[in-house]
Amino acid sequence: MNDLSLGNRLLHASALEVVTGLLSSPVICFVVAVALAVVVALSRRRTGGSGVPRGESIALGMIAGTVVLGWIADVVLRGYVFDMSATVSWWRFAVPPVIAAAGLLLFAATRRTPHPRRPVDAGSVSRRTWTTFGPRYGVVSLAALTVVTIVVTVVFGRMSFAFDPGLAAHVALQVPNTGEAPVVTVFPGWAYGIPLIVSVLLLAAATVLGLHRNARRPFSAHLSTGSERAHRSGAARNVTAIAIGVVSIALAGLLRMARRGVASSMVRMTDSGAESAVTVDIPHADLLTIGGFLAPLLEIGGCALLALLVLRALGLGVTAIRRSSDRVEVVA
* 217-268 pLDDT tens trace: 766 656 566 667 777 888 889 999 999 999 999 999 999 999 887 766 566 6
Is there a domain that residue 168 lies in? yes
Span 134-141, mean pLDDT? 87
Is there a domain that residue 322 lies in? no
Q: Is the pLDDT of residue 32 over 90?
A: yes
Span 89-104, mean pLDDT? 94
In terms of residue numbers, what domain contains 157?
Answer: 2-315
Concatenate the DSSP letters of all residues of 113-177 into one string: PPSSBPP--HHHHHT--TTTT--HHHHHHHHHHHHHHHHHHHHHHHH-EEEETTEEEEEEE--TT
Is there a domain that residue 331 lies in? no
Task: Tell me what pLDDT residue 306 has.
Answer: 96
Which pTM was predicted? Answer: 0.83
Under DSSP, is residue 277 helix (H, G, I), strand (E, B) or coil?
A: strand
Count of Cβ atoms closer than 10 Å to residue 321 Cβ: 17
Q: What is the rounded CA–CA span in Å between residue 193 and residue 21?
A: 26
Q: How many domains is the chain partitioned into structurally?
A: 1
Is there a domain that residue 196 lies in? yes
Bridge partner residues of 172 (DSSP):
184
Is there a domain that residue 15 lies in? yes
Task: Tell me what pLDDT residue 56 has.
Answer: 81
Count of Cβ atoms closer than 10 Å to residue 102 Cβ: 16
Is there a domain that residue 320 lies in? no
Burial environment of residue 117 by CB neighbours within 10 A (0 to 12, 13 to 18, 19 or more): middle
Q: Kindly report, residue by residue over 45-57, the tens digit of the pLDDT.
A: 655 555 566 778 8
Per the model's pLDDT, the better-predicted residue between 130 and 317 turns out to be 130
Average pLDDT over the chain, rounded to an integer: 79
Is there a domain that residue 155 lies in? yes
Q: What is the rounded CA–CA span in Å between residue 20 and residue 37?
A: 21
Bridge partner residues of 146 (DSSP):
none
Is there a domain that residue 252 lies in? yes
Task: Tell me what pLDDT residue 94 has.
Answer: 95
- pLDDT band for position 171 (cuts 50, 70, 90): confident
Task: Tell me what pLDDT residue 115 has.
Answer: 47
